[in-house]
Amino acid sequence: MVHVDMDMFYAAVEMRDDPSLREKAMAVGGNSMLSTSNYIARRFGVRAGMPGFIAKKLCQDLTIIRPHFFKYKAVSKQVQKVFATYDPNFSMMSLDEGYLDFTSHMQWRRESEDSERTVPVVWRSEEMCFCEKYCPKYVYDENQGQEEIPEKNEDISSSPDLFDEDDSNEENIKASGENLPDFCENCEKRIFKTAPFDAVLFGLDINEAVKEMRFRIEQSTHLTASAGIAPNTLLSKVCSDMNKPNGQYRVLPTREDVINFIDELPIRKISGIGKVCEKMLSGMEIKYCQDLFKKRGELQLISSDISFRYYMKISLGIGSTFVSSHGERKSMSVERTFREMTDRDEMYKKCLDLCNELGGDLKRHNLVGKTITLKIKKSDFSVKTKAQTIANFTDDYELIFKTAYDLLETEIMNSKLLKLRLMGVRMSTLQESSKITSKQNDIKGFLTNMKKKVAKRSAEKPDLIKKGLKRDAEKRETINIKRRASNNLKDMFAKIKETRKVEADDEDDIIVVYEKITDKK
Amino acid sequence: MVHVDMDMFYAAVEMRDDPSLREKAMAVGGNSMLSTSNYIARRFGVRAGMPGFIAKKLCQDLTIIRPHFFKYKAVSKQVQKVFATYDPNFSMMSLDEGYLDFTSHMQWRRESEDSERTVPVVWRSEEMCFCEKYCPKYVYDENQGQEEIPEKNEDISSSPDLFDEDDSNEENIKASGENLPDFCENCEKRIFKTAPFDAVLFGLDINEAVKEMRFRIEQSTHLTASAGIAPNTLLSKVCSDMNKPNGQYRVLPTREDVINFIDELPIRKISGIGKVCEKMLSGMEIKYCQDLFKKRGELQLISSDISFRYYMKISLGIGSTFVSSHGERKSMSVERTFREMTDRDEMYKKCLDLCNELGGDLKRHNLVGKTITLKIKKSDFSVKTKAQTIANFTDDYELIFKTAYDLLETEIMNSKLLKLRLMGVRMSTLQESSKITSKQNDIKGFLTNMKKKVAKRSAEKPDLIKKGLKRDAEKRETINIKRRASNNLKDMFAKIKETRKVEADDEDDIIVVYEKITDKK
DNA sequence: CACCAAATG
DNA sequence: TACTCATTTGGTG
DNA sequence: TCTCACACC
DNA sequence: TACTGGTGTGAGA
Ligand SMILES: Nc1ncnc2c1ncn2[C@H]1C[C@H](O)[C@@H](COP(=O)(O)OP(=O)(O)OP(=O)(O)O)O1
Ligand SMILES: Nc1ncnc2c1ncn2[C@H]1C[C@H](O)[C@@H](COP(=O)(O)OP(=O)(O)OP(=O)(O)O)O1
Ligand SMILES: [Mg+2]
Ligand SMILES: [Mg+2]
Ligand SMILES: [Mg+2]
Ligand SMILES: [Mg+2]
């Protein structure tokens, strides 16, 4: 199982597209909130989820760039194209990361020709030598990496250490057939040790395969990715972070290696263990994954069944061994933060806008839904959601608003003076809109239309066959006798033990049962 | 515990108010459906819940009277007035029946004077003598029994056997101080053997007390009631039917008597065991209450926990020993049957009418609710309900209709040609309307009003104290650590056994747990 | 919570 | 010709 | 079903 | 000045 995650994704894209940013501390987002930062900024403590103005206190020279989502989506598609060549069933977890199952690729790879593992070089990191002496056939194909990015791309960008020491590829050295120096005596940059010099040959094992994939990604996007290779998703996710940026890490599929890796791993590294959970667990002396197993008694006591299983799986390094393709989407939402709002009508207007947006999104995705959730965040940052499931699937903003309005209304009326900082509307219980026949979803039209139509009562008398006085005899006979008799087999078997016991002492002592049953209403 | 139930209630009222009905087979209801019948009609098999036109086949001479609910309600209030003098906490189960706890009354009764157990005679059944010879002081007080019935009452009616042989009251004979004949030699009717002749003296025991109460009811309403006296509600309910009409029955509060009574009692007599349940149980050889206990093994196997307890209580004659005062109402509904309906708009109109009715009912009862249920019965008598819980409590018919409309719409759209015979609307999740502040429940008004108001954004900047860069440190610190740690004690104790076991073999064999946990996603 | 079947008066 | 109406409860998903 | 808190990107 | 927006999930009622 391989997990791939782009390095400082948004930031990397912005740095790629604006070379002046590359040597600066920078972050992507706004003055209020940052989505990510580059590694220079991270040294100052600037992180995703941090307000920009606070980040600037930590890092005076921080440059903040507004995000360009269309670019990230485009890059993501390029990345996915590469993913697909290694595992057509890859599963994207977000724009910048995904899981791949390399097993079938590795089978193919074992039988592959060198040429099939040779990737042409169409773009070179600035750290690599491409003096004519060592790289006579350098070609830059402008279209190759850019076909899906709908914007000018004026330059090339850096990739720090694609071929660092640990990963140095013996196959390539062999393939080169020459004993070249590591660095160019001219430009002092690293020399490609492959032959032909306009391509890189990768080896047979999975490390090589993953390096090859990452190289392809870099060739295509001019951005670097890191990867984790492990026996399951849980571990590979952690691994992809181990050698960030632009690195990879492998946990071998042996119990030895898994245990060594997991035992000392801080629980917080595991995806799903967040701040709160970490704190709770640290309160019971659990800091590393092995602690989860050591304390399994206490854990089982205080945890739900699901959580306990989850903890145990972590402590044993167990995770999914297959990529579960993302099911259908379960919800779609829009929310917005704004300056403090107290005016009711302004709120309703905002609500309407959100419903409008949401309705558009739904239509665009050919989805309809039944459950509308209104979300509000008060000025004190407290959050409330109020949901309502309506009878009919819809993507119509008027219908959505009809419901959201009611929800908002009750919120407004339940508090003296409502001070809002955010409002959101979500649609869930989704279905593809294709099948739905929502005809007339319009009350007002009906109500005015009513008076005319109702008058003309078409007193048609269709095929009313006399069935006379059946009912009790006929109908109730065929009624399903469900009540007070559970068909549930599970229940049945659960009860058998208890029952047998009761059956044993049959009917000798009424009093016992009399009191056992008692009056519990 | 005493259960009192008026005899053939609606029918008795109608017979009282129209003497010509008294010797006829009659029923109350319509050609489509009867609510009850008198005892003459019952001899022909005419029962409540039977269509009138079928009843007429069984009984050619059946007279069907339309019901007069206001009368029944008025009579019920009179009855309740009597009830209250024996148990102020009496609990009405319907217009014509209720439970009373006589314990405190019996305490009082033990110390009471004869005069306190003497009920003046203001109305006399036709079967009693009121010749001047034996009843010189007869007075008919027109107002006494009628104060709450808002309709002319032109006559007096019959009460078959209030003083039949078994119940004949020795106290009265003693109190009379004379040796009177049983019947009047003049009119041949039974003579009141009390002195003074315009009152009846009742004895000290509970049978007498209940007779007294029933006599008071008859004096007040000119209608007779039957009663059951038993150690609990379950039994007294059955008892009140044993000597119907105008009789009473007692099960003594001894285990002997209870067991004798219950053992041979057909289960169907128990309130709660209906047709279907009877059939199901008869399928496993259960016909009498004692069978429930004999077959408790099988019963536990196939029944839910609740049902099983219920059965066991029946088999042992256990019931509530106190009158639980009716909690608040849980739902309110309107439904109507009509000639087959296929026109959509007509359906919507019907729906609107029902919502209107329901809204009125709610307001009249000062109730608001959140859950609207649409009920439809198709021409094939199949029933569907569709419910929706809205965000705001309401009693407004427009708001109710807004929801009911949607529900109806989906039903209409989900079937090619909907043929309806009934529609109903129900409101549940009720609350007293006093507290609710439902101000502006009006979308249309808002929408038109919107454009003006939204423009003027009042950009007030209130007391925004700088709190700077807290959040993660301050806020999240005080978060409740609920997730993945269940506080539920039941859960905890349930798990302790299992846990201890796991704890015992501590951490010697990872594999066992490894496989025990496995991959169950 | 939504839905249905059963039960009662 | 024609098979009610109001309300609660339990079971299931 | 509704609501909340938590988690991740 | 200023603390996101989109999505999923587990628990509890
Ligand atoms: N808290 C957040 N709010 C909004 N967007 C975020 C947030 N965290 C991450 N993102 C966006 C921006 C990131 O570039 C992108 C991918 O996230 P992620 O892979 O976790 O970090 P990253 O790619 O920026 O750095 P890294 O090199 O650590 O992977 O998702
Ligand atoms: N199936 C029904 N549908 C509508 N109304 C009913 C139905 N059953 C009973 N009622 C009404 C009419 C009854 O007079 C009243 C009281 O019911 P109930 O006490 O069971 O019968 P009853 O009082 O008519 O005769 P009884 O003498 O057996 O008590 O409730
Ligand atoms: Mg990343
Ligand atoms: Mg990522
Ligand atoms: Mg009755
Ligand atoms: Mg009754």
The answer, yes or no, to whether residue B455 has pLDDT greater than 50, is no
Q: Do the domain assignments include residue B321? A: no
Give the pair of three-digit tokens for residue A366: 């050919």
Do B203 and B163 have their domain in common? yes
Q: Which of A196-205, A339-348, A355-364, B276-285 has the lowest mean pLDDT?
A: A196-205
Q: Do the beta carbons of residue B319 and residue B233 sit within 8 Å?
A: yes
Distance CA B3, CA B15 (A): 24
Question: What is the spatial distance between Cα A463 and Cα A457, in angstroms, rounded to a whole number?
Answer: 18
Nearest chain A residue to B461, by CA: A340
Q: Would you say residue B158 lies in a domain? A: yes
Give pTM, 2 decimals.
0.62
Give the mean pLDDT of B444-450: 40
Q: Tell me which of B69, B100, B115 is where a domain ends.
A: B69
Q: In this structure, what CATH number is given to the domain that contains residue A301?
A: 1.10.150.810
Choice among A45-49, B111-115, B150-154 with the minimum mean pLDDT: B150-154
Give the pLDDT confidence score for residue A300 in this predicted structure: 84
d(CA B398, CA A446): 13
B110 located within any domain: yes
Residue B162 has φ and ψ, to the nearest 5°, of -60, -35
Let me know whether B347 and B435 are in one domain.
Answer: yes
Q: Do A391 and B386 touch (CB under 8 A)?
A: yes
Query: Which residue range is the domain that position B11 belongs to?
Result: 7-69
β-pairing verdict for A34-37 and A26-29? antiparallel
User: A435 falls in which pLDDT band (50, 70, 90)?
Assistant: low
Q: Nearest residue on chain A to B470, judged by CA atoms? A: A54
Question: What's the mean pLDDT when you consider all of chain B?
Answer: 77
Q: Is residue A223 one of the residues assigned to a domain?
A: yes
- Strand C neighbours among B 296-355, CB < 7 A: none
Q: Is the residue at A2 inside a domain?
A: no
pLDDT digits (tens, 9 = 90+) for B156-168: 333 433 333 333 3
A13: CATH: 3.40.1170.60
pLDDT of the residue at B300: 83
Residues 237-276 of A with CB under 8 A from B: 275-276
Secondary structure, 3-state, A160-218: CCCCCHHHCCHHHHHHHCCCCCCECCCCCCECCCCCCCCEEECCCCHHHHHHHHHHHHH
CA of A426 to C1' of E3 (A): 14
Residue B24 carries which DSSP code?
S
Q: Are residue B164 and residue B267 in the same domain, yes or no?
A: no
Rounded distance, CA B395 to CA B275, Å?
A: 37
In this prediction, residues B39-65 reach a mean pLDDT of 96
- Is residue A345, in this structure, part of any structural domain at all? yes
Task: State the pLDDT at residue A192.
Answer: 65
Residue A207, domain member (yes or no) = yes
Predicted confidence (pLDDT) at residue A224 exceeds the cutoff of 50: yes
A488 and A379 in a single domain? The answer is no
Amino acid letter, A499: T
Same-domain check for residues B105 and B225: yes
Is the pLDDT confidence value at A419 over 80?
A: yes
Query: How is residue B236 written in tokens?
Result: 């007294």
Which of residues A202, A228, A250 is at a domain's end? A250
Question: Distance between CA B175 and CA B86 in Å, rounded?
Answer: 23
Q: Work out the minimum CA distance from A10 to partner chain B, whole angstroms.
A: 24
Q: How far apart are CA A484 and CA B277, in angstroms?
A: 8
* Alpha carbon distance A201, A218 (integer Å): 15
Q: Are residues B386 and B402 in the same domain?
A: yes
How far is A96 from A5, CA to CA, in rounded Å? 6
Residue B325 has pLDDT above 90, yes or no: no
Within 8 A of B343 by CB-CB distance, chain A residues are: 453, 457-458
Cβ–Cβ under 8 Å, residues B37 and B55: yes
% of residues, chain A, pLDDT over 90: 58
Residue B213 sits in the same domain as residue B225: yes
Domain boundary (B69, B95, B117) is at: B69
Q: What is the pLDDT of residue A105?
A: 98
**Residues A267 and A238 reside in one and the same domain:** no
Q: What is the CATH number of the domain that holds B337?
A: 3.30.1490.100
Q: Are residues A76 and A59 both part of a single domain?
A: no
* Spacing, Cα A238 to ligand 4 middle (Å): 11
Residue B115: exposure state from Cβ atoms within 10 A (0-12, 13-18, ≥19): exposed
Cα gap B425→B373, rounded to integer Å: 6
Catalogue the long-range contacts made by A490-496 (C-beta closer than 8 Å, 24 or more residues apart). Answer: A491/B304, A492/B301, A492/B302, A495/B300, A495/B301, A496/B301
Are B62 and B165 found together in one domain?
Answer: no
Structure tokens that stand for B417 in this block: 């040609």
Atom of ligand 2 nearest to the CA of B39: 27
Percent of chain A exceeding pLDDT 70 equals 71
Give the separation between CA A182 and CA A199, rounded to whole angstroms.
17
What pLDDT is stored for residue B199 in this prediction? 82
Measured CA to CA, the distance from residue B259 to residue B269 in angstroms comes to 15
Pick from A225, A233, A451: nearest CA to A323 = A233
Q: Any idea how long chain A is?
A: 521
CA–C1' nearest nucleotide, residue B424: D5
In a domain, A430, yes or no: yes
CATH number where A178 lies: 3.30.70.270
Residue range A166-189: mean pLDDT, rounded: 55
Eight-class DSSP state of B246: S
| Per-residue pLDDT at B249 | 98
Å between CA of B123 and C1' of F12: 62
Q: List Cα–Cα distances, A261 to A2, A167, A258, B256, in angstroms.
A: 16, 20, 5, 75
The string of DSSP codes covering B420-489 is: EEEEEEEEEEEEEGGG-------HHHHHHHHHHHHH------------TT-TTTTTGGG----TT----H
Do B91 and B125 reside in the same domain of the chain? Answer: yes
Nucleotide nearest B271, from its CA to each C1': C8
Q: Which of A162, A231, A3, A24 is nearest to A96 (CA)?
A: A3
Over residues B453-467, mean pLDDT: 27
Tell me: pLDDT of A89 over 70: yes
The pLDDT confidence band at residue B304, using thresholds 50, 70 and 90, is confident
What was the pLDDT predicted at B145? Answer: 37
B31 and B74 assigned to the same domain: no
Confidence of residue B502 (pLDDT cuts 50, 70, 90): very low
Q: To test ligand 2's pocket by mutation, which of B15, B36, B46 has the most ligand atoms within 8 angstroms of CB?
A: B36
pLDDT band at A361; cut points 50, 70, 90: very high
Among B273, B267, B258, residue whose Cα is nearest residue B316: B258
Total structural domains in chain A?
5
- The Cα B426–Cα A468 span in angstroms is 30
Angle at B91 between CA B110 and CA B227, to 5 degrees: 60
- Between chains, do A300 and B444 touch, taking CB under 8 Å as contact? no
The string of DSSP letters for B255-322 reads HHHHHHHHHTSBGGGSTT--HHHHHHHHTTT--BHHHHHHTHHHHHHHS-HHHHHHHHHHHTT---SS
Protein residue whose Cα sits closest to atom 26 of ligand 2: B8
Residue A46: exposure state from Cβ atoms within 10 A (0-12, 13-18, ≥19): buried
Chain A touched by B345 (CB under 8 Å) = yes
Question: Quick check: B494 pLDDT over 90?
Answer: no
CB contact under 8 A, B409 and A440: yes
Rounded to a whole number of angstroms, the distance between the first and last alpha carbons of chain A is: 56
Using CB atoms within 10 A of its CB, is residue B320 exposed (0-12), middle (13-18) or buried (19+)?
middle
